[in-house]
Amino acid sequence: MTIQPLIDHFETCLPLKESDKNLLESRVNHRSIKRRQFILQEGFPCKHYTFVINGCFRMFGVDAKGTEHNIQFAIENDWIADIGSFHSGKPSKLFIEAIEPSVILQIEQQDLYFLYTNLPKLNRIFKVIIENKYVELQNRVLQNISSTALERYLTFQEQYPTLALRLPNTQIASYLGITPEFLSKIRKDIASESANLKLS
């Protein structure tokens, strides 16, 4: 098992000593996940912070009508977890599913707390990670209130530049809060406008 991608990720914030890396490696679990496999299901507590080495995940909820609503995607060098359930131990109302075959590293709650105590700089790193996720969520809520579907799609492309090619329309549309048909129309309009600009 190599945790080098995780070490590289952390070291974008703070450098780690060799002893830090060894301690970290002793508290991290490596897993290979199949496409459509769940690492969290509704009704169960979220037991891990998950770091994606390779692959793609979605976190989603299901409403009373059975409609799925994508809340977050996570690809390489990103984190995914139901943070509220992870820290409270309460059953989650969300699912986390692999959209592609994936390789992940996971940290359980007790191991994360151990690392916070014995590797204080990790506490600071996770504070930055969570603050960034919070800002991302704030921006998304604001967009859902004030932006058009086209503006939300353009922001999605900016935030996840490779995902438009990796995800089916249904998954992206669920994230944007629109129908797949309307998303297809938006994409056609963008392509048409781009073609017209090239001709002019």
Domain boundary (100, 120, 146) is at: 146
Contact between 95 and 61 under an 8 Å Cβ cutoff? The reply is: yes
Residue 174: exposed, middle, or buried by beta-carbon count in 10 A (0-12, 13-18, 19+)?
buried
CA distance 164 to 174: 13
> 95 and 159: one domain?
no
Beta bridge partners of 105: 30, 51
| Per-residue model confidence (pLDDT) at position 200 | 57
Helix (H) or strand (E) segment spanning residue 105: strand 102-108
> Do 88 and 161 sit in the same domain of this protein?
no
> Quick one: pLDDT at residue 1?
62
Same domain, 29 and 128: yes
**Alpha helix (H) ranges present in the chain?**
4-10, 18-25, 83-88, 109-118, 120-146, 149-159, 163-166, 169-176, 180-199
Q: What is the pLDDT of residue 140?
A: 85
Structural domains counted in the chain: 2
Residues 128 and 192 in one domain: no
Residue 59: name the closest of 145, 133, 158 by CA.
Answer: 133
Last residue of one domain, picked from the residues 126, 146, 166: 146
Same domain, 65 and 99: yes
Do 95 and 176 fall within a single domain? no
> What is the rounded CA–CA span in Å between residue 185 and residue 144?
19
154 and 72 in a single domain? The answer is no
Looking at the fold, whether 152 and 117 belong to one and the same domain comes out as no
Whether 151 and 141 map to the same domain: the answer is no
Find the domain containing 38 and state its range: 4-146
Check whether residue 63 and residue 130 sit in a common domain.
yes
In tens, the pLDDT along 2-56 reads 899 999 999 998 899 999 999 999 999 999 999 999 999 999 999 999 999 999 9
- Those residues of the chain that have pLDDT short of 70 are 1, 196-200
CATH number of the structural domain spanning residue 77: 2.60.120.10
Work out whether strand 57-62 and strand 79-80 pair parallel, antiparallel, or are unpaired: unpaired
